[in-house]
Structure 1
Amino acid sequence: MEIRKVAVIGAGVMGAGIAAHIANAGVPVVLLDIVPPAAENRNTLAEGAVQKLLKSDPAAFMHPRNARLVTTGNLEDDLALVADCDWIIEAIIERLDLKQDLYQRLDQVRRADAVVSSNTSTIPLQALVAGLPENFAKNFLITHFFNPPRYMRLLEITGGEKTRPEALEAVSRFCDHKLGKGVIHCKDTPAFIANRIGIFWMQVAVLEAMEMGLSVEAADAVMGKPVGVPKTGVFGLLDLVGIDLMPHLMKSMLDALPEGDAFRAKAGMPDLIATMIRDGYTGRKGKGGFYRLNRSHGQKLKESIDLASGEYHASVPANLASVKASARGGLGALIGHPDQGGQYAWRVLSQVLAYAAALVPQIADDITAVDKAMRLGFNWKFGPFELIDQIGAAHFAEKLATDNQPVPALLQQAAAAGGFYRVQDGQLEYLDTAGPYRTLERPEGVLLLEDIKRASQPLLKNASASLWDIGDGVVCLEFTSKMNALDPQILELAMQAIPLVKSRYKALVIYNEGSNFSVGANLGLLLFSANMASWQQIESMIEAGQNTYTALRYAPFPVVGAPSGMALGGGCEILLHCDAVQAHAETYMGLVEVGVGLIPGWGGCKEMLQRWVTNPKRPGGPMPPVIKCFETLSTATVAKSAQEARDYLFLRPQDSITMNRERLLADAKASALRLVEGYQPPEPVEISLPGPTALAAMTMAVHDFHTMGRATDHDVTVSLALAEVLSGGDTDMTETLDEQALLALEREQFMQLLHDNHTLARMEHMLETGKPLRN
């Protein structure tokens, strides 16, 4: 079966978020909720939810127009709207009686083959379908989304004994391909996988920090980067999700978990947390949490709570030798360090990792499902079994035994075998619960560079980039520098790749598996060179970037960009020069150079002008394309999704979007291969620009902004340099400008700005703080 229309029942935070993300996939969705007592507008809950979604930050919709795909209604008047839906998702309050009453009503109106699923993670599936018709049970699943549904990639799914395999497969495929989810098939156990382990981890981390007398900063410094957890650590994470959720999570877990489960011994609510919740200190959504911003005396001071006294004080970053040791020696060095940080790391990880090992195969058939669930559901860099391997399975088991802690059978098995994972003949294998190692199989249509790198050697390689053969005559250019910042070595390797691809291959894909495609040019290198007054070296680097991007643009083979995450500055510019872009849905593109006192210098101005001038939907006349470019670039506009990137012409109609990050490389490769037959490089484009007429209009607008206090003095300087390039310089509409003329304008204005101390101050501030300086 194919899912073409979906209904969501329950317009709360989760239900509404799920509906929004289904709309993001271009699929019509019905959103229904109850009629509140005495409501004038009977659809107020569903309609209000959509309005909240449109204002949410981060945005729930990938584009505001996606809200048009959501049809709102109520359960009394509009239940018939689900009659033509292929999948109906229940996301109402966690009460079995209310859910079963709803299911009885849904069964009267749904199609016989329509799938119904619940978003619950606390009520067993058998209980949900008890007493319901056989056909309903055959088409019933649990689909557990994580909040916020657009951004959290994990979807835990399970069926019952009677569930049709076709129903499970149809929903799994839809969630994978259309919603971009990492679909984990788990067993029908309390809290499934991620919450079962993740909530245990948070609770243990909090209790151990309190018992040891640690500061929240010290605890988060340990339970953050050193163990591969987001920098929030555990206390920062609780502030983010809401401390007031903890009692509800504890209760739901205790109600469902079997007697003897290790979680039960840790499920108490500390008095401090109960007091914080009572007084409204529930985290970022409340007065504050374990951290808060004190805005008294006209300043913002970050404070943290003392876990013993409950008093707030100025937040002081932790300075732990164990954390420094982990940067050099990894996880083993952390848990083996004698200071408080090392002791804390061991006390938490020993319990959490052993708990995870004791739960397999109870909660999942294999360890890979558990590791992936924790990576996608809690944003851990490594799953629990990957962490054990970093420590060493045998060492971890031995250390547990030394502490008189039980050693789970699966861990004993791994210790004897040499670990939970191994590489054999270039293939990643995992330890099966039944004994032997099994090859980790990827789903059809998933191609990962990490697998290719494990099994082969690069065609070309330097300190900042590599070139890989990804099969079928396609090669992949991978950035490997810090944050994938573009530097001379990346440009050099890209130029070396062109003759190699021309002689031996069919196409090139530009892709990497970092969190961000590229944050732009290496700002530190640029600032260093400017401070050394190495102007010739800088100009050579700018020219090298322009030449490299131009060479890619006119290469005798297709070049496809495949970004995910941030693609900013020079990272955006390289994509603008590709024949096609296969973008992950969560791609954030923008030419943001004005934020550091510069303008796009690697062909970004030229490419954006060409796109707007030749855009068939542009307003008439010579000025609108230039003004559109100026508005986008002078405000450092960043598209908040790949869909939104089309509005700014960062992406074109022929560019495509992949919802699932793991399918991006395979999709980009397929896109490149489609272009191979009969491929001819594009012809260079010449355009006419208004010159001084456009410059005067943009100058007037900039000075108006300055007068209104919306632009600083240096904003004016940078904007006028940008206006000079976009206007075309000393030209008019009777002349044509070729690409080299536009690139020369970019270089000239870029170099002038780089000589300005205000620009250097902006660059230095960005490198130090990660935030733009308005000077």
Structure 2
Amino acid sequence: MSIEKVAVIGAGVMGAGIAAHVANAGIPVLLLDIVPEGATDRNAIAAGAVKKMLKTDPAPFMSKRAAKLVTPGNIEDHLADIADCDWIVEAVIERLDIKHDLYAKIQAVRKPGSIVTSNTSTLPLSKLVEGMDDAFARDFAITHFFNPPRYMRLLEIVAGAATREDAVADLTDFADRRLGKGVVLCNDTPGFIANRIGTFWIQCALVEAMDRKLPIEEVDAVMGRPMGIPKTGVFGLMDLVGIDLMPHVDKGLGDNLPASDAYQDLRRELPLIQKMIADGYTGRKGKGGFYRLNKEGGKRVKEAIDLTNGVYAPAKKASLSSVSASRKGGFKALMAHDDRGGAYAWAVMSKILAYAAALVPEIADDVPAVDRAMKLGYNWKFGPFELIDQLGAGDFAARLKEEGRAVPDLLEKAAAAGGFYRIEGGKLQFLDVTGTYADLVRPEGVLLLEDIKRAGEPVAKNGSASLWDIGDGVACLEFHTKLNTFDPDMLKMVGKAVALVPNKGFKALVIYNEASNFSAGANLGLALFAANTAMWPLVEEMVEQGQKAFLALKRAGFPVVSAPSGMALGGGCEVLLSSDAVQAHAESYIGLVEVGVGIVPGWGGCKEMLLRLSKDPKRPRGPMPPVSSSFETIGTAKVAKSAFEAKELGFLKASDGITFNRERLLADAKARALALVEDYAAPEAAELTLPGPSGAAALRLALKDLTARGLATPHDQVVAGGLVDVLTGGPGADITEPVSEEEVLKLERETFMKLIKTNGTLARMEHMIETGKPLRN
């Protein structure tokens, strides 16, 4: 059964977020909640939730247009409307009596075969279906989303003994393809997978830190990047999700886990936590949490709490030799170090890893499911079993034995076999519960570059980029610098790829990588170094090299499809603008942000925006509208916060594709490239009609007004003035004479070079490199 309409009952943070994300996928949603007492608007709770989400940052909606697909209602008046829905999600308070009462009402009005799921994170499915008839039990499952539903990729699905297999298959397929979720099938056990292990990790980290009287800054320095865990660490994470959530999650696990479970040994009264919650220190949503921002002398000062007395003091940067050692030796070096950071890391993580090994197959059928759940649900770079392999399964087991601790049976098997994962014949394999290895099989339609790289060698490679054969006559250009920033070697590989594709018999090129961000643009540090040493010919050469490389991409005699995910800024955006088509991950953040560092787009960004906006049938005709729109978008450094917004801003074309599941992006881009091969013709050189001095005068007048209102700084005027010259065609442009692409590129290059020689631009570049934030000078 295809899912074409969804109902979400419960318009709290989670329920509303689920509804918003279903709407992001283009699916109509009915959002219901109770009728508030004494309210004139009986739909006030659901309607208010939608209104609030439109103002929330980060935004639950990928586009404001998606909000129109959510229909607010209330349970008393509109429950019968769920009869049109294929999937009904219950997201009400975690009380069995309330859920059972609601399920009885749902069963009375839902259509046969519609799927009903609960978003519970604590209640077992066996208890949820108690007293319900067989038809309801067959159509019922748990779909545990993580907050916020748009951004957190994990979806845990739990099926009951009576749940239809095809219902689970339909949910899995919809969540995977339409919602972009990494679906993990879990067993019906307390906390499922991610929260069972994640809560144990947080509780253990907190208790050990208190017992050892460690500063929280040191704890987060250890429990963060050295382990491949987000830099928030433990205490920063608790502040982010809400400290007041901890007692509820702890109670849920404590009440449902057997007395013999290792988690029960960690539970204790934590007076400091209770006092923080009572005083309103619940994290970022409250007055502060373990960390808070305080104002001192007009400046905001970050403060950290002392776990021993609850007193705040200015946060200090942790300096631990174990953390320093981890930068070279990784997780293994951290765990082996003898300072207090290393001792703390071992005390916490050895318990977590052993606990995880003892839970398979109780919570999941295999180790990849557990690793995947922790990576997608808690943003760990490595799952527990991947971390054990970094330590060496045999070494880890041996150290546990030396300390007189129990070694789980599965860990014993991994120690004997040589680890939980291995590569055999170019394929990744995992150790199953029987102690034998099995191939890790990807779902149909998933193509990952990491698998291709594991099985073969690149067609071409340098230190900044590689060219891979991804099959069916399609090549893939991968960037692999820090943040995938462009340097001369990457630009060389772009040019080399254009030549190699036809020479090696390929039919098309896909530009794609599996880093967190597609590309953050040009290597700013390299440009600043050259500028500070007055190596102007080198700077100009790099600008010209980029222009030639991207123009070659655009005019190549074969289809070029770019597949971004994460940030595609500056030069990263210009790659997209130079491609025949884009297949973008829905979570792509695209923009031309050069003005923030005092320059203008120099690799064809201005030219391409003018071209595509002048051809957009939905925009006004004439020479000035595309110039004005480009000036507003580039001049304010707008960044699209989703692929849908990127279409609205013109960074993506209406015909460009959007993929929700990150793991399906490469396969979708490859299919799009192959579809373009037949009858392909490279775009011909284009000409633009630009307004020249008259258009420039109009834009300068608008800029003068912004300056008078205090919205533009002195150097903003300089940079925006240069942008005006490029977009209007320069002082010699005439509305009656077309301007070629090469002429606009020349203007970009000249303006770029003029700006980079100013003190204001150099100050902006230095500030961006030092702080990561733009300077308003």
Within 1, Cα distance between the matches of 2:405 and 2:718? 66
Q: Trace 1:689-768 onto structure 2 (pairs within 5 A).
A: 689-729=690-730, 730-768=732-770
Distance 1:110 1:670 in 2: 38
Structure 2 distance, partners of 1:539, 1:132, is: 73
Q: Which letter maps to 2:139?
A: N
Distance 1:11 1:275 in 2: 30
1:466 paired residue number: 466
1:504-525 CA-partner distances (Å, limit 9, x unpaired):
1100000000000000000000
Q: Is the 8 A contact 1:430 1:437 kept in 2?
A: yes
Q: Percent identity?
A: 63
Aligned partners of 1:663, 1:316: CA distance in 2, in Å? 42
Counterpart of 1:452 in structure 2: which amino acid? I
User: C-alpha displacement at 1:622, in angstroms?
Assistant: 2.3
SS at match of 2:739: coil
What CA distance in whole angstroms lies between the structure 1 residues aligned with 2:431 and 2:562?
Answer: 36
Aligned to 2:340: 340
What code does the residue aligned with 1:264 have? Q
Question: What SS does structure 2 have at the residue aligned with 1:476?
Answer: strand
Corresponding residue for 1:426? 426
Any conservation in 2 of the 1:247–1:269 contact (CA below 8 Å)? no
Alignment of 1:490 onto 2:487: no
Look up the equivalent residue of 2:190 and give its one-letter code. P
1:269 Cα deviation (Å)?
3.6
Q: Which residue of structure 2 lines up, in the alignment, with residue 283 of structure 1?
A: 283
Verify the 8 A CA contact 1:590 1:638 in the aligned structure 2: yes
Note the 1:156-195 alignment, pairs <5 A.
156-195=156-195
CA distance in 1, matches of 2:602, 2:500: 27
CA displacement 1:532-551 (0-9 Å, x = unmatched) = 11111111110010000000
Once the 2 structures are TM-superposed, how far is the Cα of residue 405 of structure 1 from its aligned partner?
1.6
Distance 1:439 1:311 in 2: 53
Aligned to 1:545: 546
Moved more, 715-724 or 268-277: 268-277
SS of residue in 2 equivalent to 1:772: coil
User: Shift of the alpha carbon at 1:124?
Assistant: 1.4
**Deviations along 1:465-484, whole A, 9 cap, x unmatched?**
00000000001000010110
Q: 1:446 and 2:446 equivalent?
A: yes
Instruction: State the Cα deviation string for residues 133-184 of structure 1 (Å, max 9, x = none).
Output: 1111110011000000000000000111111111111111000000000000
CA distance in 1, matches of 2:186, 2:176: 15
Could you say what secondary structure the match of 2:76 adopts? coil
Quote the offset at 1:621 in angstroms.
3.1
Q: 1:94-126 deviations in whole A, cap 9, x for unaligned?
A: 111111111111111101110100011211112
Measure the CA separation in 2 of the matches of 1:45 and 1:368.
Answer: 40
In the superposition, the TM-score normalised over structure 1's length comes to 0.99
CA distance in 2, matches of 1:349, 1:337: 13
* Number of the residue aligned with 1:436: 436
1:601 maps to 2:602: yes
| AA in 1 matched with 2:715 | H
Match of 1:415 in 2: 415
> Deviations along 1:328-386, whole A, 9 cap, x unmatched?
11112111111000000000101111110110000000000000000000000000000
Q: Contact (CA 8 Å) 2:22, 2:29: kept in 1 or not?
A: yes
8 A Cα contact 2:410 2:435, kept in partner: no
How far apart, in 2, do the equivalents of 1:499 and 1:303 lie?
A: 55
Aligned position for 1:771: 773
Determine the C-alpha separation between the residues in 1 that align with 2:268 and 2:569: 46
8 Å CA contact retained: 2:140, 2:159: yes
Q: Matched residues in 2 for 1:251 and 1:621: separation?
A: 65
Deviations 1:413-441 (A, max 9, x none): 10111000000011000000012100000
Residue type of the partner of 1:342? G
Q: Distance in 1 between matches of 2:302 and 2:8?
A: 40
Q: Could you report, residue by residue, the CA deviation over 1:481-516 in whole angstroms, capped at 9, with x for unpaired residues? A: 011001110110111111210121100000000000
Distance in 2, Cα, partners of 1:35 & 1:153: 32
Question: Once the two structures are superposed, what CA deviation does each residue of 1:217-244 show, in whole Å capped at 9, x if it has no partner?
Answer: 1000000000010000000000101111
- Separation (CA, whole Å) in 1 of partners of 2:620 and 2:678: 35
Q: Report if the CA contact (8 A) 1:470-1:476 is conserved.
A: yes
2:109 counterpart residue number: 109
Corresponding residue of 2:634: 633
After TM superposition, give the deviation of residue 561 of structure 1 in Å.
0.2
Corresponding residue for residue 122 of structure 1: 122
Aligned to 2:419, the other structure's residue is in SS state coil
SS in 2 for 1:213: coil
- Match of 2:640, SS state, is coil
Task: Show the 5 A alignment for 1:126-275.
Answer: 126-275=126-275
Q: How does 1:273-422 map to 2 (within 5 A)?
A: 273-422=273-422
1:532 has 2:533 as partner? yes
The answer on whether the counterparts of 1:145 and 1:154 sit within 8 Å (CA) in structure 2 is: yes
Instruction: Give the whole-Å Cα distance in 1 for the aligned partners of 2:40 and 2:401.
Output: 65
Give secondary structure in 1 for the equivalent of 2:84.
coil
- SS of 1:644's equivalent in the other structure is helix
Measured in 2, the distance between the counterparts of 1:551 and 1:157 equals 47
- Asked whether the equivalents of residues 6 and 29 of structure 2 are also in contact (C-alpha less than 8 Å), the reply is yes
The aligned residue for residue 86 of structure 1 is 86
Letter in 1 for 2:691: P
Aligned to 2:99: 99
Distance 2:331 2:68 in 1: 49
The answer to whether residue 643 in structure 2 is matched with residue 642 in structure 1 is yes
Q: CA RMSD in A?
A: 0.7
Cα deviations by residue, 1:581-633 (Å, 9 ceiling, x for unpaired): 00000000000000000000000000001111121121133211110000000
Structure 1 stretches of at least 4 aligned residues deviating more than 6 Å after TM superposition: none
For 1:401 and 1:269, the matched residues in 2 are separated by 30
Alpha-carbon distance in structure 2 between the residues aligned to 1:330 and 1:176: 33
**Local SS of the residue matching 1:406:** coil
User: Which residue is 2:618 aligned to?
Assistant: 617
189-198 vs 158-167, which moves further:
158-167
Question: In structure 2, the residue corresponding to 1:646 is in which secondary structure?
Answer: helix
DSSP 3-state at the match of 1:27: coil
1:421 & 1:767 partners in 2: Cα distance? 39
Match of 2:26 in 1: 26
The amino acid of 1:148's aligned partner reads P
3-state DSSP of counterpart to 1:77: helix
CA distance in 1, matches of 2:228, 2:239: 19
Task: Indicate if the aligned counterparts of 1:561 and 1:578 stay in contact, CA closer than 8 A.
Answer: yes
SS for the counterpart of 2:337 is: coil
Q: Which residue of 1 aligns with 2:572?
A: 571
**Contact preservation (8 Å) 1:449, 1:513:** yes
Change (3 A) 1:693 1:354: same
CA contact (8 A) 1:159 1:168 kept: yes
Q: Deviation per CA, 1:660-699, whole angstroms, max 9, x where unpaired?
A: 0000000000000000111110111101100001110111
Say if 2:658 is the partner of 1:666: no
Contact 1:695 1:727 in 2 (8 A): yes
Distance 1:679 1:269, change over 3 A: farther
5 Å matches for 1:511-526? 511-526=512-527
Stretches of structure 1 that go unaligned for 5 or more consecutive residues are none
Q: Check whether the contact 2:122–2:249 (CA below 8 A) recurs between aligned residues.
A: no
The aligned amino acid for 1:44 is A
Amino acid at match of 1:769: T
